[in-house]
Amino acid sequence: MNAPRYNRQQLVAGIGPEGQLALQRATVLVVGVGALGSHSADALARAGVGRLLLVDRDVVELSNLQRQVLFDEQDAASGTPKAVAATARLRAINSEVQIEPFVADCTHEFLAGLPILPDLILDGTDNFPTRYLLNDFALQRGIPWIYAGAVGAEGAAMVVRPRTTPCLRCLWPEPPVGGEVGSCETAGILAPAVAAVTAFQVAEALKLLAGQAAASTRGVFTCDVWRGSYSVFAGAAGPSPDCVACRGEQYPALVAGPPAIVVLCGRDAIQVDPPRRVPIDLGLLQQRLASAVAGLERTAHLLRFQADGCRFSVFPGGRALLFGVHDPLRARVLYDRWIGAG
């Protein structure tokens, strides 16, 4: 890689030429390329991390642009998958970095099928079931990962180093129930909260990737950018003796199948992905819907149309995002009506 490009970064104590070379050789998986993931992926690409794997199930919407830094109005107008739009932007920022997009839901099957095991996993998700999946997968494979979340003006992040630090299950043995935690749909989200959390997340990532794990922050970083509060809660020094995942006995999230219906954060949008024996052919679906729906459009990545007051984005294989609907049962009815029963 171009040494002068990273000169200012290499001058920082703890990086140096050897640390920069370690960054160049590293592979990072970023799960979710929305608010959190777009900030983190941008910083990692600029820092010269050699290979980025970006996975996201969603498409760009106009409401994303307030806080998701890798997208523009054209991406929103065309409904470009976030992983694809982010990859194009990052390649323009740093052509030396190898970037691979995955337009997919992050499931255990997806993680098990990765082309390469990453050196680090960054959480850019908006839901706890996926975070627990990342936690259990990382512990099973011995891969460090960094949790991050932001809602309203508040944010939190934590470094998880398998068998060394507490994991997510050490803090909360079971995922919080949806009603117990806020979401950007109910509490909104400030871009500075996202930036504060991802600044911590990426700084910790650079320490680990540069071989400076001893300098990583232990505990949970929290912030409230509206009140000007920033702190680290130290907590336990190591894994909980009661944690089945840290003991290597069970990884509950790896055996639980993905839900067929998922309500997406921040808008009236629902993902429907029922298990099916035969994947849907988008070409045949386009022909079938040609005279029955409005706004039918086939792109390189999906099929879009409007019907029953709802906007559909259908991906190869049959996974679909339904916009303009908030009731999961109605979403499944509409899916079966226009795409086909699973």
Model confidence pLDDT, tens digit, residues 201-230:
999 999 999 999 999 999 999 999 999 999
In sequence order, which ranges of the chain are alpha helices (DSSP H)?
7-10, 16-25, 35-47, 73-78, 82-93, 108-112, 128-141, 168-171, 184-187, 191-209, 252-255, 282-289, 328-338
Answer yes or no: CATH 3.30.310 is held by domain 261-338: yes
Neighbours of 110 (CB within 10 A): 17
Tell me how far apart the alpha carbons of residues 28 and 193 are, in angstroms, rounded to a whole number.
Answer: 23
Tell me if domain 4-255 and domain 261-338 are identical in fold.
no
Domain boundaries, the chain: 4-255, 261-338
Question: 203: burial class by Cβ within 10 Å (0-12, 13-18, 19+)?
Answer: middle
**Helices 35-47 + 82-93 axis angle, to 10:** 30
Cβ atoms of 53 and 28 within 8 Å: the answer is yes
Tell me how far apart the alpha carbons of residues 169 and 251 are, in angstroms, rounded to a whole number.
Answer: 10
Q: Output the pTM of the full model.
A: 0.90
Task: Report the CATH fold assignment for 4-255.
Answer: Rossmann fold (3.40.50)
| Mean pLDDT, all residues of the chain | 92
Model confidence pLDDT, tens digit, residues 291-335:
999 999 999 999 999 999 999 999 998 999 999 998 888 999 999
Cβ atoms of 238 and 164 within 8 Å: the answer is yes
Model confidence pLDDT, tens digit, residues 43-54:
999 999 999 999
- Dig out the tokens for 12 from the structure: 């920082």
